[in-house]
Amino acid sequence: MGRYDHSQYVSMTLEFRCNLKCVHCMIEGTMDRLQPESQDRFQALLQYNAQHRAWKGLIMTGSEITLNHDLPDMARMAREAGFQHVRIQTHGMHLAQESYCRKLVEAGVDEFFVSVAGPDEESHDEITGVAGSFTRMLRGLENLEAYEHVHSITNTVVTAKSYRLLPAVVDRLAHLKRLTQMEYWLYWPMSERDEKDLIARHADVLPYLRQAIAKARGYGRDVEVKNFPECLLGEEGEALVNTQPQLFIDPAFWKEFGRNGFYQCVHRERCGSKECLGLNTAYVGKYGLEQDSLHPVVSRIGN
């Protein structure tokens, strides 16, 4: 299980621009159409939480939230409205600038969810499509080490290009003391087909994913895995956490998301998993339903 209670957080998309070209980008092709939440909507969220205390943490997200020049002011307003934690989701490049990093921390950002595509410059930059992005991202994570109250979280999107790199990513970040949780999101294409040929077969991913989970826990970190069959994880099944904070986003996003067609599994009616999303349409189209490798699981204690 992860460290953070998603029911205690709320997410709002406040920026749809990005200056990376990640091959696995989920909203590629929609960034020009999706609209970020307005400042009026943001203020309404703050006022609601100030009155009702519905959430402890606010996550400010979008394609790359640090491109929003109002980010420090918004973080400050969120703190003044009573949010105990303010998190940003970022590719981390702009955190390489120490003064900007300090500005965000002083404004109230205390949790940084940073995307890490690979364990080195060659692999990370190839996936993000921008030379120098690994060096700047890593420097940004290292800049956060100066703040004892700050926590960092990393996410690695698991694709055919990245799954073999997962254990090495854990080792490369071993020196970070503020890194509390590592997440692994299995790629979904927001489409009925894997047009980029990025979906990896679960059986191929599994040994590398298990190694990464074990290594991360060995370094004292919590782990969350998204969109992987719980039955295949076996003893690591509790690492599967598909729940997410409530998200405020352009409603057009959900029409695109629905194209994934999750929850396909021949064992679904007999399976006790409360977290598993099954297979999606693009995966089934590429590898089939894999009924011989999947199996029903017994409900976890407490579910």
pLDDT at position 303:
54
pLDDT at position 226:
97
DSSP 195: T
pLDDT in tens, the chain (303 residues): 678 999 999 999 999 899 999 999 977 766 678 899 999 999 999 999 999 999 999 999 988 999 999 999 999 999 999 999 999 999 999 999 999 999 999 999 999 999 999 999 999 999 999 999 999 999 999 999 999 999 999 999 999 999 999 999 999 999 999 999 999 999 999 899 999 999 999 999 999 999 999 999 999 999 999 999 999 999 999 999 999 999 999 998 898 889 999 999 999 999 999 999 999 999 999 999 999 999 999 876 555
pLDDT at position 1:
63
Q: Please give the Cα distance from 288 to 302 (Å, whole number).
A: 32
Q: Please give the Cα distance from 36 to 198 (Å, whole number).
A: 27
pLDDT at position 125:
98
Write the CB contacts of 31 (distance below 8 Å, at least 6 apart in sequence): 16, 17, 18, 63
Q: Please give the Cα distance from 224 to 165 (Å, whole number).
A: 17
Residue type, 42: F
Contact at 8 Å (CB) between 123 and 99?
Answer: no
Q: Is 47 helix (H, G, I), strand (E, B) or coil?
A: helix
pLDDT at position 256:
86
Q: Please give the Cα distance from 118 to 137 (Å, whole number).
A: 11
Write the CB contacts of 169 (distance below 8 Å, at least 6 apart in sequence): 116, 118, 119, 154, 156, 182, 212
